[in-house]
Amino acid sequence: MNKQELINGLASKDFVLKLIGEPELQREDLGYKWYTQQIFEIVDNTGVGRTIHFYVLDEGKPNEKAVYKDRLPIKQSSGELFVDKIRDKLNSISGKIEEMNEEGKYAIVKGYIEIGGKMIPKRYLIKYKDGNITKIEIEE
């Protein structure tokens, strides 16, 4: 599949309502080109903009090949949207989700904080309500 075929295939996916703009070149110093394409989709009655990443090898040549970066784009669930919303909180505590409810309202996260040069394990409840994200330490 070449770059144009990849873009056409992405546009024809049932969850993609619209491609936003043209593919944007991110890097080309890797021996291949890395592009991003913005899409607009509906997830659980919510409009969501998302960035799809892909690589193109030998662009413009007869053997041009385009492939998605990391994973094939699939329809998102509300749980995945929740993870996107709390990603900054997860990164701030080097956190990993242990448990999450399916509606994407809360997650139990194991994280680590640095105290006196040591990484101390902690557990947190991360909640999302009315556009606000709160992090509460769970006492064990």
| Domain spans, the chain | 3-68, 78-137
pLDDT < 70: residue spans in the chain? 76-82, 84-86, 88-94, 102-104, 130-131, 140
Q: Dihedral angle at the C-alpha atoms of 64, 70, 71, 76, nearest 10 degrees?
A: -130
pLDDT at 88: 67
pLDDT at 109: 83
Q: Are 56 and 3 in contact (CB under 8 A)?
A: yes
pLDDT at 79: 57
Q: What b/e sequence results for 34-50 when a residue is b if at least 16 CB atoms lie within 10 Å of its CB, and e otherwise?
A: bbebebebeeeeeebeb
pLDDT at 78: 60
- pTM here is 0.57
